Structure 1
């Protein structure tokens, strides 16, 4: 550029960029306005602008009275930077989405999060739909900036192009093939306005479809591009995995809850005036079941014996609980034989041995019946700790019954003791989770049988519920924060008054 503002010379490359420029032309007539303005201002700083739709960076170099401008085509570099920035934003979004989706194992919450993220980042509105159940669809709608709405509709997926096959896990139909005018009204959130573009994306689960995601853009926004649809599928993969995991968790939790009902020791009650109370505490804070158990089978009519069993399966946790369930179910089947404790033990032992189970158990059977003002107990010990009898004067006696544990030897041996409880007297059955509980001042002393007897001596004449609560409370205080085995205790108390029938 000359000092008079005219173009002096162009090289071959510049001649291609400025095809109308010729030496001698005023600069303003030869180059774009942004370059002419930069020449007039002479700031010496690089400037940027567009030439024929391409991006250039221009640098000035003074050559005496003239100025030479040399240009760098940075169109591809800017395009690459823009693409890189888009990918960074998308990667950050996917990471954020994964964090939110994995923060909840609730299926409904996962659906709401999916609809929220999709409506804020991918479209003007989003609809998350689960596979149909009995011709009904569970759905979550959300428009940008609005609240998620959940509903169950008796709607036909075939009325939304591509939705039916997406719910079955097939690849999505390109959005350009979907006519927004053909979309059923039930899929469109209230107040969204005219729909200009629709994308239906399957939500892949863990081997089975988790549902479908419907993205809606209003007529004021651009249609979905192929690149945007690919990105939507990446998001859908994460959302589908989270929803599938949440559904699996819900199914497992429901199954676990159903199974737990039969594994957790029951709430005991009074039968024919005889007080029965029980308490159970598993070994782990996060566990609800274990190897200790008790069951009560009330007499069908007055004068018949009520059968109660307390047991301790080797081990703890779910594996021990499974064995516990087997024993309890077997004993329930053997109730018609409950008048003969040894026969029940023999048949239970045979059942456990035939199952090739490696665990064994210790048990105490008690059959209780009113005998006038007293209660007559038949107690049979199968390798367990001795039942303790709490007399009304505070004396604590061990019931004279012994036997072998079940599930190990082909033959079991056991003796049955008959004990009479006068009004207010009790029989206490317990597991070694109490006597072998470590604690105390130094944290390493067993609670022990003698300490348990001393506690029970103080419980003479009190209700069975109070005895159980007292034993559990003192055991917990003794254990403190130490680890302990499963704990189970049952108290059987004779009516304190003759009229307790």
Structure 2
């Protein structure tokens, strides 16, 4: 018995302690021979002893939880006292850790389910109020003199607000919102918390902490946690957990902010890359249609532009082109070409010179993409429209006559952005009232589809479609070409598609 690793006591039939081992002396100092169980050890054990029970029992000795299995000798009873206090504490700590891990996992899922910054702030406030404090306030880094806040009381709804407040009104808030690396969690005297941060009806504040929200190399915001005076203050262990949650929330808010900024930048950049809405100039109808290769993208390698004449009797300059490739990289080159052509507008009367200078600009850039282009200069001459067309490696412009005949404009040339020199011939075409000229990209002619899904739409099929469009408005021609091409393609992938129609007015004016 004396060598047993656990405390062992031997109790006589009268309830007195007869013997104990050395381990008992270490764990239960008050337990010594001659002491009655009722007096010093445990009344619950004394009752079992008097009842002469032989089954294990549980209770507390010296504030320690101890099961006591019995081993009865001849005239006394030996009790093995197994200390469960540490085991119970460890079990509880494991339960708490499991709960916290599950909470963090749920928080991560909810926070990352939206790329909207406002929604991330709302979720952060809701989760923090639910599990970390009685109320939570999420504050976004300031813009000017105002603060964007999201407040939530446990069991309540989130409230968004914009307040004009001094960051120094809460100790630690200015550091959390403006410095990086961010300061650690800051305990704040509840008496100093200003009214603008305390939700209405919350009641007296017992404790408050300011927690920086970190992410992407800069402060994402700050989390202010409030607990009522009836609840325990934030312990060191609780503060560690709060900071773990703050790390998840800060990363999610930073990601959402970055996504918002990138979306805004993309919107601004693509706004100038999307082909413009065309309109009538000096009675000449200009109509265009564009469809990128992917439904998720707004821009690509196909483009067209119209630079209308400043006064009647002068040429309007048009360009339709196709940059090799798809998506944003091709769109960047598209933007460069369009900007260069805009700068060269004073030379619009000389198509060859514009091509030469554009070719030099592309060769001098770091881009390795080339482009095919068609230039068109259009002007009214009496009831007709005179077109000067220059083709630089592109598909031939198609002329739709009033009798349904479809002619190819006789202009050929080299593509731009590959060779040191570029040459192209310019041809002049006259459009009678109601006749049209169609410029298009190979997204139409090389579109695969049809009954078996493998046939090209082709130039001949396009000509057949146009022969049925004699005399109709340019917008109707563009719409019909796009509709029939879409029917042909079906669910297949396709290249960027751009179509531009130039139509002579169908009626004579009295200018």
TM-score by length of 2: 0.93
The 10-residue stretch of structure 1 (268-277 or 60-69) with the greater mean CA deviation from structure 2: 60-69
Q: Deviations over 1:466-494 (max 9, x none)?
A: 11111111111111111111111111111
1:111 to 97, 102, 121: 121
Q: How far apart, CA to CA, are the structure 2 residues paired with 1:86 and 1:45?
A: 33
- Alignment correspondent of 2:365: 355
Structure 2 CA distance for partners of 1:441 and 1:42, relative to 1, 3 Å: farther
What root-mean-square deviation, in Å, do the aligned CA atoms of Structure 1 and Structure 2 show? Answer: 2.1
- Alignment correspondent of 2:30: 19
- Alignment correspondent of 1:420: 430
2:337 to 327, 349, 367: 327
- Alignment correspondent of 1:254: 264
- Alignment correspondent of 1:69: 79
Shift, 1:180, TM fit: 0.8
- Alignment correspondent of 2:6: none
Contact 1:55 1:74 in 2 (8 A): yes
3-state SS of 1:451 partner: helix
Q: Give ranges in structure 1 of 5+ residues lacking alignment.
A: none
- Alignment correspondent of 2:16: 7
Q: Write the mapping of 1:401-440 to structure 2, written as runs, cut at 5 A.
A: 401-440=411-450
Q: How far apart, CA to CA, are the structure 2 residues paired with 1:355 and 1:173?
A: 51
Contact 1:7 1:24 in 2 (8 A): yes
- Alignment correspondent of 1:56: 66
Contact 2:20 2:33 in 1 (8 A): no
Contact 2:318 2:375 in 1 (8 A): yes
Pairs aligned (count): 498
- Alignment correspondent of 1:399: 409
- Alignment correspondent of 2:326: 316
- Alignment correspondent of 2:183: 171
Contact 2:41 2:62 in 1 (8 A): no
- Alignment correspondent of 1:159: 169
Contact 2:64 2:85 in 1 (8 A): yes
Shift, 1:35, TM fit: 3.2
Structure 2 CA distance for partners of 1:351 and 1:18, relative to 1, 3 Å: closer
Contact 1:2 1:65 in 2 (8 A): no
Q: How far apart, CA to CA, are the structure 2 residues paired with 1:446 and 1:462?
A: 26
TM-score by length of 1: 0.94
Residue 276 (structure 1) aligned with residue 286 (structure 2): yes
Contact 2:185 2:239 in 1 (8 A): no
Residue 366 (structure 1) aligned with residue 415 (structure 2): no
1:340 to 350, 353, 357: 350
Q: How far apart, CA to CA, are the structure 2 residues paired with 1:327 and 1:461?
A: 33
Q: Deviations over 1:440-465 (max 9, x none)?
A: 11111111000010111111111111
- Alignment correspondent of 2:141: 131
Shift, 1:173, TM fit: 5.1
Q: Write the mapping of 1:437-448 to structure 2, written as runs, cut at 5 A.
A: 437-448=447-458
- Alignment correspondent of 2:482: 472
Q: How far apart, CA to CA, are the structure 2 residues paired with 1:65 and 1:201?
A: 65
Q: How far apart, CA to CA, are the structure 1 residues paired with 2:224 and 2:204?
A: 15
Contact 1:18 1:31 in 2 (8 A): no
Contact 1:7 1:30 in 2 (8 A): no
